[in-house]
Amino acid sequence: MVRRHRTVAALLTVGLALPSTAAYADSAGVQVRGPAAVVGSVELEGAGAGSASAAQAAVRPQVAPTPPPVLTPVADGVAVDQEAVASVITDDLDSDWLGDRAHVGVAVFDVETGEKLFSRLADQGLTPASTTKLLAAAAIVNALPMDEPFRTEVVTGPEADQIVLVAGGDMMLARGAGDPDAVEGHAGLGDLADQTAAALKERGLGVDGHQVRLRLDTSYASGPIRPEGWTDYWLDEGFTGPITLLGLQEDRAVPYNPAPRDPAQATAIAFRQALTERGIDVGGGPATEVPREVAREGAEQLGVVESSPARDVLAEAMSSSDNAMVEQLARQAAVADGASAEPAAVRDWVVQQVADYGVDTTDVTIADVSGLSDGSLIPVRVLAELLVIGADGSHPEFSEVLRELPIAGYTGTLWDRFHLDAHDPAVGVARAKTGSLPGVTSLAGLVVTRDSRLLAYAVIADEVGQDGAGLEARSVIDTIIAELAACGC
């Protein structure tokens, strides 16, 4: 259920909930000084010589005094008592819906002080599901320039009648025109075809019997389309798509609507069709595979389109929990930092980057960087500590990632969560990365307490029952976060 009755203030609370952005915990009670605050009076009775100017001055608007501050900075909220936190969440943690209590880990930290407020099995490795993506995001921001876009270009080929479509990391191209106000479909394949067609016509290519041949370059950060742990089932059912450095927005995998097994090839075929529609004679039939060719160094550019900045692309990947997109962003970052594009190398690189933040990763084992493969184990302590580091303002790029995490009850993978009355205190004031696998539910993020204190939390239950128990377990975890939000601790 989409909540439309909430105030915008609730959204702003969480959207600005990091100290590095000078956030405020509550926007209720803001005093607006408009026309009603303009005051003046006229005193004419008994006025003597020179009183006209005094009367004129009296009726001029006068600025009301500046009101005292009514917003409390998050970092200045009331410190939280450990025993109080334990008292409000312990009962929920004992819920049978969470499954085996030996497989329920919880960690809660005060962001301002870094103090651990509550822990249960916090150092035990548990199956993290998609909360693994927090580790990937922390690593990605260290190696990819977050202000830079991903470029898709067309260049001249090694032979005079060849052109090459070069993959550059954008897997969300619009088929037609790009939308400059969007992240998905920001760059358009149609726009690229417009530029390329115009350049070819200037050269007399693709017209008047001078056919051109299209080639596809996927050499950039090339590697396997999936880690070893991704089964055919996950791909065939659309729970993830192949890892690709070139793809169409419409080909992103969604459950029960799988992506093409070769999104880059599907994009190249669509590009050939777009050129044909623009009057360019391109070799090959409508569905003929486009041959691969590495563009030569120094090739002349015929057209280029750019994605949104990497920061926005990463935010979209995290918000929608897109496994393939997180994997390919991590691959690009690892390659940029000198590592291999092989999934195992990317995985090891991510763990090392997290360790470089000062987090103890001794008990961390990840089978991929998106959380989909079997075999990953991460202690909730690691997730919570990483959230504290990202939220305390010491790493601005990582802070930006956390600021774009889904909002409880509103956006991303949390739009349909926190739907019960018991969850209301967290709606609009909690952000989190979700995680879901068969038998596993996890949540890790940030929440502002009733007393304006920013907390980081991580909860994993990885022995949840079947037949609807997963949904009930999610609801219990949502209740726990709501208790933290409501806490006058």
Q: What is the pTM of this model?
A: 0.84
Per the rule left: phi > 0, alpha: psi between -120 and 50, beta: everything else, 238 is left
- Which top CATH class is 151-308? alpha beta
Domain ranges of the chain: 32-66, 74-144+321-486, 151-308
Residue 216 DSSP SS3: strand
Print pLDDT tens along the chain (489 aa).
Answer: 333 333 323 333 443 333 333 332 222 322 222 333 222 333 333 344 455 555 555 544 455 555 454 444 566 678 888 998 999 999 999 999 999 999 999 999 999 999 999 999 999 999 999 999 999 999 999 999 999 999 999 999 999 999 999 999 999 999 999 999 999 999 999 999 999 999 999 999 999 999 999 999 999 999 999 999 999 999 999 999 999 999 999 999 999 999 999 999 999 999 999 999 999 999 988 889 999 999 999 999 999 999 999 999 999 999 999 999 999 999 999 999 999 999 999 999 999 999 999 999 999 999 999 999 999 999 999 999 999 999 999 999 999 999 999 999 999 999 999 999 999 999 999 999 999 999 999 999 999 999 999 999 999 999 998 878 999 999 999 999 999 999 877
C-alpha distances in Å from residue 381, one per residue of 46, 108, 180: 77, 8, 40
The residues that bridge with 213 in the sheet, in sequence order, are 162
Which uninterrupted H or E stretch holds 212? none
Q: CATH for 74-144+321-486?
A: 3.40.710.10
In terms of DSSP bridges, do strands 116-120 and 151-156 run parallel, antiparallel, or are they unpaired?
unpaired
What is the per-residue pLDDT for 80? Answer: 84
Note whether 459 and 477 are within 8 A (CB): yes
What is the per-residue pLDDT for 205? Answer: 95
Tell me the HSE value of 254 on the side-chain side, using a 13 A CA sphere: 6
Strand ranges (E), 116-201: 116-120, 151-156, 162-166, 170-173
Query: Do 74-144+321-486 and 151-308 come out as alike in CATH topology?
Result: no
Note whether 156 and 300 are within 8 A (CB): yes
